[in-house]
Amino acid sequence: MAEEFEEKRRYFRVSDTISLLYTVVNEIQVKQLSHVSRDVLSTCSLAAALEVLNQEAAALAPRLDRRDPEMFEYLKILDNKINLIVQSLAPRQDDFSEQDKREVNLSAAGVAFTNNVAIPVDTLLELRMVLTSCLAVIVAYGRVAQCKDISQDNTEHPYAICVEYVNMKEEDRELLIKHVIKKQMQQLRDKNA
């Protein structure tokens, strides 16, 4: 038991806002390995992918504006040009919607998130997570380890769901670790700014 606890705690954890979709799956589907889709546009629309990049850029904007205001203004103009082109090319429809953005606690061992419905312990899930730091969609499988009623603190999402990954490839775990570390560094820089 102590060994299992140590395994879970040996990875860094970070609070983050990511696009997260889940589906209940069966044992046969869970036997598939996790995978990363670098073809983000096969999973979400161009507008949704650009929104993910906009979030990443917004985190960097204050530092760049302080360091080089002229360059920052130029980059804002380029960003506006790109947004105009996207608006002319694609109607507004996102596979990942605003409702799919969630506050999560993320690690290479699992993910915790709030949800509007309870998911029973031991339920198997397919998780699709957009990682902004590498603009990739990780498709992972997991088992619900805990479902806790938090309705007194959160009426909109009254359940805290904890999921442990199963059958995750080491490369995907490494990508999650890189994302978590980048996010922690960004949070530390923002805190010290």
Task: Name all domains of the chain by residue range, CATH numbers in brackets.
Answer: 2-42+98-192 (2.40.10.220), 45-94 (no CATH)
Mean pLDDT taken over the chain: 81
Spatial contact of 167 and 34, defined as CB atoms under 8 Å apart: yes
Beta bridge partners of 143: 124, 164
Spatial contact of 68 and 169, defined as CB atoms under 8 Å apart: no
Give the Cα separation of 45 and 166 in Å (integer): 28
What digits encode the pLDDT tens for the residues 11-56? Answer: 788 999 888 989 999 888 877 766 666 566 655 656 666 777 777 7
The residue written with tokens 């031991």 in the block is 122
- Tell me, what's the pLDDT at 24? 94
> The whole model's pTM is what?
0.67
pLDDT in tens, the chain (193 residues): 444 444 545 678 899 988 898 999 988 887 776 666 656 665 565 666 677 777 778 888 888 889 999 998 898 888 888 877 766 665 444 455 555 788 999 999 999 999 999 999 999 999 988 887 777 788 899 999 999 999 999 999 999 999 999 989 888 898 899 889 988 888 888 888 7
Spatial contact of 130 and 19, defined as CB atoms under 8 Å apart: yes
Surface-to-core class of residue 111, CB atoms within 10 Å of its CB (0-12 exposed, 13-18 middle, 19+ buried):
buried
